[in-house]
Amino acid sequence: MPKAARVTGWGKYLPSRVVTNHELEDTLDTTDEWIRTRTGIKERRLAASHETTSSMATMAASQALASAGMEPQDLDLVLVATCTPEHLLPASASVVQNALGARRAAAFDLNAACSGFVYALATAYQFIAAGNFENILVVGSEIYSRILNWKDRSTSILFGDGAGAVLLQAQDGEPGLLSFILGSDGSRANLLYVPGPAGATEAGRNGFYLSMKGAEVFKFAVKAMCQASRKAVEAANLSLSDIELVIPHQANYRISQAAAHSLGIPLERFFSNVERYGNTSSASIPIALCEALEEGRVRPGDHLLMVGFGGGLSWGALVWKW
C-alpha cells in the first residue's frame, strides 16, 4: 500500500530590501495607482548583491527543518523548484544540500516556471508514496530581479525575490495529497520566456531578460487556474465548497478575483499577499502557505487547494488535506 506523507515543517525567506511602487515612479513611466489598480501590488522585495537563489533557499529550508525539529543529515532528498538558478550547473539543490549539511540526501532542481512548487510537491510526494524516501525538503526560490529589464514597465513592476520551503515526511494513515493535476502547452512558450546562453544570437540582441505578452498570459492564467482547480477537486472526490482555503500563485490580484468569480468560491477564501511581495514565481505558493499558517488560516483537517500557472505555458493544481 502506498505510503502517505504530511507537511511537518515550513519556512520562508524574504530579502530585506523593500521596493515600493513610488520608488519605481522615479525610473519608469508609471504610478503607484496604475500598478495597484492593475495588479494589486504595492511593493516587492529585491535580493541584495551577495544573495543567491540557493542562499535564500537555504534560509527558508533551515526554518522548515527547525520548525519540524529535524536534523539535515536525516534528509533523503532536497528538491528546489526554480527558474532563476545562479548556475546552469551544479543544481541549486546541490548547493543547498551542502550548505545545510544534508550529507546523505540526493538533490536536484525542477523548472516549471511559476508552476514549479506545485510540480515539485507532487513529485516529492511520489517518492514517498513509492517507498523510496521518507524525508524530503521541497523549496521554491527565485531571484527574478536579475532577469528583468528594469526599463520595461510591463514586466519590471510585477516581480520580486524570495524563497519558501516545506518538509514532507512519510506517515501512516490518510494521505495528505488527495489529488494533483499537471499540464503544459509548449505551443505557447513564446508568450513568456527568458533566453538562455544556448540562444546566443537572440541573447546578444536583447539580453537575458524576461519577455512576456501580458494580456495573453492573463487570459491563459485565469482559464488554466479554473480548469486545473476543478479537475483537482473532482479527482479528490470533493466539491469546491469543501475547500477551506485556496493558495494560488501570487501573480496578479485581478487573476484571483476572476478565478474566484468563475469558480464560485468567495474571494475571502483566496489567500493573497501579492500586495507585499509581487510575483515571486515558484516561491509564491510556499511563502503564502507559510503566512497562512502564521495567521491561523489553516487548521487540521482543512482542504487546501494550491494552484499555479506560468511559463511553459504550464499549470498545476493539487488538493492537500492538512
Residues recognised as catalytic? 114, 249, 279
The DSSP line for 300-319 is TT-EEEEEEEETTTEEEEEE
Which residues share a beta bridge with 306? 247, 318
Q: Alpha-carbon torsion 203, 205, 210, 215, what sign?
A: negative
Distance CA(145)–CA(15), nearest Å, equals 12
- All 3 cell numbers of residue 261? 468569480
Report the DSSP pairing between strands 303-310 and 245-248.
parallel
Distance CA(70)–CA(88), nearest Å, equals 30
Helix (H/G/I), strand (E/B), else coil: 278? coil
Contact 131, 254 (CB under 8 A): no
Q: Alpha-carbon torsion 181, 255, 292, 275, what sign?
A: positive
Distance CA(274)–CA(67), nearest Å, equals 25
- All 3 cell numbers of residue 191? 508568450
